[in-house]
């Protein structure tokens, strides 16, 4: 273990100062404001936070820190004497420290108890999994270090073949969530009607999305009303609602040795034709004794549990199709996902008929997300075109129900 300089005074206050009494997640202030989009040099400050955070870990003084992604949080690659680590610097006001620890509890339990490959958390020198680091001019930021996982996201030109294995992995996670005895301190937020459409929606209001004018507002308002009705009738029984990843896009899967195809989201600029209302026909339900088949899931690591929480299990399929909902192959992708899911858990046909409800729920949430995340590259790229495409899909969906 290497010896490091003592933290500066600001770090000492962030690390050892007065105990933080985090409010419950649903009362965190400003949760609809993405502070990493605020401008004013915030990303430069966050990079300095990342460099300051390294003093808390067993990392050499010459380690290189490179920003690799800004989404809900800022993610950095740390290169240290031949090894690679991933440092996540959290945005403000999205998760309490207790909620971050709960995320780490689940991803660790999935790896150790369910055999689902997930990144290993790298503790700080004092054993902490979550560390607070001073950000001059703002509140201290929470940071988490992960082991680097080799691999690449599934190739864009081979999208369809990944959805069967993804369905099986998703079902394994849901099966574990149903059986897992969560720690007493476990807390995560919900992805429900209130998170989407309530007075303080999780990602902001879709009405404030890019390109939402009078006509778009009318179409998407009808979509919201229909979704509220369908979700209320679907209900939140334990067989349909529980702990989920909530962001199982292909970009959050790493396939060892796969050629990177880039982010599938780049294809979502057009609001091309989808096929809402078509039921994705899955494979025949195997006998209960055959449910633990893990075909095709070897070598796939699930990453980025930052949005994990409580929601409808089918929302994980809606999230898997994020930004590609218009793709003409979506019905086949959903069918493949359902078939993979059924190798592990049952998926009743009546549930399957609501697949497009959850695809459109996610799509409408992403309209809000794009509007509230102007610093994120994909939000800038998609902009008003994504709203236009959402309206086209909404009209198809509304005509089908």
Q: Could you report the per-residue pLDDT of 50-67, keeping only the tens digit for each?
A: 999 999 999 999 999 999
Residue 13 tokens, joined: 């206050």
CB contact at 8 A, 194 and 27: no
Query: What local confidence, expressed as pLDDT, does residue 8 receive?
Result: 41
- Specify which residues 142 forms β-bridges with: 132
Q: Does residue 77 contact residue 147 with C-beta atoms inside 8 Å? A: no
Instruction: State yes or no: pLDDT of 44 exceeds 50.
Output: yes
| pLDDT at residue 137, rounded to an integer | 76
Report the percentage of the chain scoring pLDDT > 90: 70
Give yes or no for a contact between 219 and 395, defined as CB atoms under 8 angstroms apart.
yes
Please report which helix (H) or strand (E) contains residue 77, including its range.
Answer: strand 74-80
Q: Which of 75, 94, 95 is nearest to 84 (CA)?
A: 75
Which segment of 24-28, 130-134, 296-300 scores lowest on mean pLDDT?
A: 24-28
**CATH 3.30.200.20 residue spans of the chain:** 9-147
pLDDT at 277 exceeding the cut of 60: no
Helix-, strand-, coil-residue percentages of the chain, each rounded to 5:
45, 10, 45
pLDDT at res. 37: 75
Token code pair at residue 132: 């607070």
The domain defined by 156-400 carries CATH number 3.90.1200: yes
Specify the pLDDT at position 34. 75
The larger pLDDT score, comparing residue 24 to residue 374, is at 374
Confidence of residue 260 (pLDDT cuts 50, 70, 90): very low
Q: With contact defined as beta carbons under 8 Å apart, do 114 and 176 qualify? A: yes
pLDDT, mean of residues 168-177: 98
Mean local confidence (pLDDT), 256-281: 35
Please count the other Cβ atoms lying within 10 Å of the Cβ belonging to residue 94.
Answer: 23
> What is the value of pTM for the model shown?
0.83
pLDDT tens by residue, 184-194:
999 999 999 99
Q: Where in the chain is the domain with CATH 3.90.1200?
A: 156-400
Instruction: Quote the CATH superfamily of domain 9-147.
Output: Phosphorylase Kinase; domain 1 (3.30.200.20)
Cα–Cα dist 128/139, whole Å: 19
Q: Which of 8-22, 167-181, 288-302 has the highest mean pLDDT?
A: 167-181
pLDDT(366) > 70: yes
The pLDDT value recorded for residue 2 is 30
Q: Average pLDDT of the chain?
A: 84
Q: Mean pLDDT, to the nearest integer, of 255-267?
A: 40
Whether 250 has a pLDDT exceeding 50, the answer reads yes
Spatial contact of 123 and 226, defined as CB atoms under 8 Å apart: no
Confidence (pLDDT) at 187:
98
pLDDT value at position 262? 36
Q: Which of 3-17, 186-200, 218-232, 300-314 has the lowest mean pLDDT?
A: 3-17
Percent of the chain past pLDDT 70, that is, above it, reads 81
SS (HEC) of 138-159: CCCEEEEEEECCCCECCCHHHC
Bridge-partner residues for 152, per DSSP?
255
Contact 277, 397 (CB under 8 A): yes
What integer pLDDT is reported at residue 289 of this predicted model?
A: 31
91-107 pLDDT, tens per residue?
999 999 999 999 999 99
What pLDDT sits at residue 40?
67
Q: What is the pLDDT of residue 145?
A: 98
Torsion from C-alpha of 343, 289, 349, 222, nearest 10 degrees? -50
């Amino acid at each position: 273990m290497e010896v490091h300089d003592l933290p500066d005074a600001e770090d000492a206050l962030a690390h050892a100062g007065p105990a933080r009494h985090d409010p419950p997640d649903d009362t965190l202030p400003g949760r609809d404001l993405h502070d990493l989009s605020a401008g004013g040099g915030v990303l430069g400050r966050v990079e300095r936070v990342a460099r300051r955070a390294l003093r808390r870990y067993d990392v050499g003084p010459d380690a290189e820190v490179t920003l690799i992604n800004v989404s809900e949080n800022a993610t950095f690659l740390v290169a240290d004497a031949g090894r690679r680590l991933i440092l996540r610097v959290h945005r403000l006001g999205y998760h309490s420290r207790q909620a971050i620890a709960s995320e780490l509890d689940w991803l660790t339990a999935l790896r150790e108890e369910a055999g689902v490959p997930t990144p290993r958390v790298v503790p700080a020198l004092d054993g902490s999994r979550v560390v607070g680091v001073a950000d001059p001019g703002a509140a201290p930021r929470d940071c988490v270090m992960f082991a680097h996982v080799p691999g690449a996201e599934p190739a864009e030109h081979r999208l369809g073949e990944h959805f069967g294995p993804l369905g099986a992995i998703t079902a394994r996670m849901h099966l574990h969530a149903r059986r897992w005895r969560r720690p007493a301190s476990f807390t995560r937020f919900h992805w429900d009607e209130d998170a989407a459409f309530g007075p303080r929606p999780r990602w902001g209001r879709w009405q404030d999305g890019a390109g939402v004018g009078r006509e778009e507002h009318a179409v998407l308002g009808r979509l919201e009303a229909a979704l509220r009705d369908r979700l209320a009738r679907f209900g939140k029984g334990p067989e349909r609602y529980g702990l989920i990843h909530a962001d199982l896009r292909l970009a959050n899967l790493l396939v060892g040795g796969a050629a990177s195809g880039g982010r599938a989201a780049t294809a979502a600029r057009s609001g091309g034709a989808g096929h809402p209302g078509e039921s994705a026909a899955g494979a025949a339900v195997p006998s209960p004794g055959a449910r633990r088949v893990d075909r095709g899931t070897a070598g796939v690591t699930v990453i980025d549990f930052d949005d994990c929480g409580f929601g409808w299990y089918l929302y994980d399929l809606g999230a898997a199709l994020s930004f590609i909902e218009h793709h003409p192959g979506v019905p086949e992708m959903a069918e493949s996902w359902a078939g993979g899911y059924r190798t592990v858990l049952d998926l009743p046909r009546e549930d399957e008929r609501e697949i497009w409800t959850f695809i459109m729920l996610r799509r409408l949430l992403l309209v809000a997300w794009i509007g509230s995340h102007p610093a994120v590259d994909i939000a800038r790229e998609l902009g008003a075109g994504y709203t236009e495409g959402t309206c086209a899909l909404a009209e198809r969906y509304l005509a089908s129900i």
